[in-house]
Structure 1
Amino acid sequence: MEESESVSAKNNADKVDVSSRQSSQTKPRLKLFNKVIEKSLQWLLDNASFDRFSHYFQPLSKQNPQLTEAMHKQFISQLQTLVQKEIATVIEEGDLQVRLEELDKLQELAKDTPHAAWRPTGVPEQDVCSDLVSYYKKQEEYMRIQLKKLQKENAGLAQKVQAGRENITHTEQRIASGVEEWRASLEDLEAFVSTLSPSENFESL
């Protein structure tokens, strides 16, 4: 009886198609995932053997073994269907097939990468330090670039300030020159007026 149930369980497990895949188009990781699920389901069904099932229904199994066998078959069928539905739901909600295919594509692209990808050493202190060193080096390079930009901007601003100061100096010089010219013109005017009407002439009038 147990042998027949085991064969039946294996036949049922062979029919499992968790992700409704087409074998000719299945990606490597999806194949591996389906294989693991099939083996896990097979292990579950094997452990739900008729002997173990009937052990928990001993009075009934002794009085009516045919009914116990029918109950076991129904239990196996419902268990398999329920597990398949749950796995299918997980695959659908997590979009697992697409994710696994993306991993396959990334692996294919990584074949052309000359350097191996970073892997942890297993010592957290070393991994953290190595990661921090890389991070700080990037930050240092970034700060150098920003410093050069600021120095260039400051140099440009300094030139503008210097040019502004020179313009102010030239303006002050022009104003001073204009004042001197105005004073000279005023003195010439006063001298000219004094020649036309000297003060003593006004006193004699």
Structure 2
Amino acid sequence: MEESEKSSESVSAQNIADKVCDVSSEASTRRNDSVKSTQSKPRLKLFSKVMEKSLQWLLDNASFDRFSHYFQPLSKQNPQLTEAMHKQFISQLQTLVQKEIATVIEEGDLQVKLEELDKLEELAKDTPRSAWRPSGVPEQDVCSGLVSYYKKQEEYMRIQLKKLQKENAALAQKVQAGRENITHTEQRIASGVEEWRASLEDLEPFVLTLSSSENFGSL
């Protein structure tokens, strides 16, 4: 009875080990394909290497000794099964982490963004001046940043001031034109009143003549 149980356990352990080998080979194939696809993309290739080293560090820390420490009754009774479980755990952990990394690359659109960084770096090689870097003294870095900010604000205020001056000049011209129109209108009204008064003065002798002739006729 014990021999049959041991044989069944060894068969199951062998099956688990075979599955672990298949999964690990598939994961390594995917990883190799991803590395090949990133050979022409320096930053993405570097990112993949960093993630691969981080994953390897994680897998190295998940050693069999640590794994068996948390399964001491099982590891003492059946070390082969414990080893097979550890291999399966490592394989599944590796596959899940690689899937998460691929999801981050896809959702974050890292391929396009890292390619843009590569292009910017290539364009920056032709610039004579080096890019700004922090000096290590926070006060100086803050002051340098504020100076550039204040200069931009000053330039913006100058542009706005010029716009306001142009608008004020245009409004002043409109006001001056309105005043001139009012003055011309007043002058026309005054001249019309003078002409009306002059015409009344010319008509006054004629009216007096008519009134005297009417009085003579009544006599």
TM-score using structure 2 length = 0.70
Task: Structure 2: state its 5+ residue gaps.
Answer: 26-35
Q: Is the 8 A contact 1:18 1:34 kept in 2?
A: no
Secondary structure of the 1:15 match is: helix
- 2:23 is matched with which residue? 18
1:3 aligns with: 3
CA distance in 1, matches of 2:11, 2:51: 18
Moved more, 170-179 or 66-75: 66-75
- Distance of 2:111 and 2:17 partners within structure 1: 21
- Give the stretch that moved more between structures: 122-131 or 134-143: 122-131
Distance 1:140 1:9, change over 3 A: farther
* Residue 86 to residue 142, structure 1, CA distance change in 2 (3 Å): closer
Change beyond 3 A, Cα 1:158–1:3: farther
Tell which deviates more after alignment, 168-177 or 63-72.
Answer: 63-72
Q: Structure 2 vs 1, CA of residues 183 and 126 (structure 1 numbering), >3 Å: closer, same or farther?
A: same
Aligned residues: 204
Contact 1:19 1:88 in 2 (8 A): no
- Alignment check: 8 A CA contact 2:17 2:84 kept: no
Deviations 1:22-64, CA, capped at 9 Å, x for gaps: 3465411111111112222222233333344444445544554
Deviation at 1:9, TM superposition (A): 18
Offset at residue 176 of structure 1 (A): 1.6
Cα distance 1:40–1:95, how it changes in 2: closer, same or farther (>3 A)? same
| C-alpha contact (below 8 Å) 1:27/1:101 kept by paired residues | yes
Structure that is richer in helix per residue: 2
Q: In 2 relative to 1, CA 163–67 (structure 1 residues): closer, same or farther, beyond 3 Å? A: closer
Change over 3 Å in CA distance of 1:164–1:177 after alignment to 2:
same
Show CA shifts across 1:159-204 (max 9, x none): 2222222222222222222222221221111112334553895497
Give the aligned CA root-mean-square deviation in angstroms: 6.7
Is the contact between residue 105 and residue 111 of structure 2 (CA under 8 Å) also seen in structure 1? Answer: yes
Give the percent of matched residue pairs that are identical in Structure 1 and Structure 2: 91
Range that drifts further, 31-40 or 86-95: 86-95
Q: TM-score, normalised by structure 1?
A: 0.73
